[in-house]
Amino acid sequence: MSKRDISTVSFASKRAQIIKKAKSDDKGKYVGTKLDTTEKEPVKDEVEFPKVVKRFHELDDQLDVGIYSRKRKGVSFSDPKIILKGDGKKRNVTVWLPPMKVKYASLGENGNLGRFTDDVNRARFTVQLESDVPEEMGEVRKSMEKAGDDAIDFIKKWSNQAMEIAFHDESTWTDKCKRYDDDQAFVKDAKHSVIKTDNEDIENISLTRRLEGWQGEPNRPYFWKLSEDNTYERIEPKYITSGSVLSVQMTFRAFNMPDRHGMAGDLGQHIIVVYMPKRNKPKTNPLDIPYIPFDE
């Protein structure tokens, strides 16, 4: 295995890994470590905008549910997957969702590391999207909101269909499935984490992406915006605020745990930033101290 280059890994990620290793090596006696925190010029990958862009509704009649089987430590596992019809390799399908408003996001360089977890392996980039887009979208607002509602229905449809197929497959989740009388009860009891409901019963799409790849490489999505010449330009926003409008890629991922089963959603590699609201700068500082010029 080649040596991992950590020069492009985030500061928080490197620090978390160093601390974890130090604690292990010193049997918990770790009290601190020196680390080079010098700012380095970010390395911009040479990456192109995807040439093939398949929106969710264009793929609806081309999709199928396949059963994907594998072995882990000699034990066989089977899961349902959303795939293209006739795909013998049963590869996950990536679909583009329409422009939707950001309800909440952790899409900065470090994702939710340090907020909800200090474990790099558990840290994620996260985003929740809803169909209610801002008024700034103008005349296309209503059509965009309908597309967002359709995307939520599309995700629920295929998530439920995957659960139904899993119930009838003899090699898939057999211990879980035999607790239910029929497939409808099994589907109804599914807890799809890809669709969440807020306190006002408004549904939104919830997607996550690993902070680091499986070999420890940075895994932040690539961000794009539309240029005047109708091509996409790579941008690097420090973070994405609530109220922004994004069009994102997603894949389905089924899960089966002792207390729940259902479908999760993984955030894809590319994100189109359609709109970002302007930030309102505070008129006064936190201590309400007036600005008075003076010479040092």
pLDDT digits (tens, 9 = 90+) for 129-187: 999 999 999 999 999 999 999 999 999 999 999 999 999 999 999 999 999 999 999 99
Domain at 268, CATH number: 2.40.50.140
Is the same domain home to 187 and 116?
A: yes
pTM: 0.81
**What is the number of domains present in the chain?**
2
What does the block give as tokens for 40?
Answer: 């380095």
Q: Is residue 284 part of a domain?
A: no
Is the same domain home to 223 and 89?
A: yes
Report DSSP state, residue 187. Answer: H
Is the same domain home to 25 and 144?
A: no
CB 171, CB 71: distance < 8 Å:
no
pLDDT at residue 50, rounded to an integer = 92
What does the block give as tokens for 66?
Answer: 């396949």
Q: Is residue 169 part of a domain?
A: yes
Q: Is residue 233 part of a domain?
A: yes
Is the same domain home to 62 and 13?
A: no
Is the same domain home to 267 and 218?
A: yes
Q: Residue 89 pLDDT > 60, yes or no?
A: yes
Q: Is residue 266 part of a domain?
A: yes
Q: Residue 4 pLDDT > 70, yes or no?
A: no
Q: Residue 102 pLDDT > 50, yes or no?
A: yes
Question: Closest Cα to residue 236, out of 253, 255, 221?
Answer: 221
The contacts of residue 237 (CB under 8 Å, 6+ apart) are 107, 223, 273, 276
Is the same domain home to 22 and 129?
A: no
pLDDT at residue 287, rounded to an integer = 73
Is the same domain home to 98 and 151?
A: yes
pLDDT at residue 31, rounded to an integer = 52
Measured CA to CA in angstroms, residue 3 lies from 14, 19, 41, 46 at distances of 15, 20, 22, 22
Q: Is residue 2 part of a domain?
A: no
- Total residue length of the chain: 296
Q: Residue 112 pLDDT > 90, yes or no?
A: yes
Q: Could you list the residue range(s) of the whole structural domain that residue 27 is in? A: 7-43
Q: Is residue 124 part of a domain?
A: yes
Q: Is residue 288 part of a domain?
A: no
Q: How many helices (H) and strands (E) does the chain have?
A: 5, 11
Rounded average pLDDT over 38-48: 64
Is the same domain home to 229 and 262?
A: yes
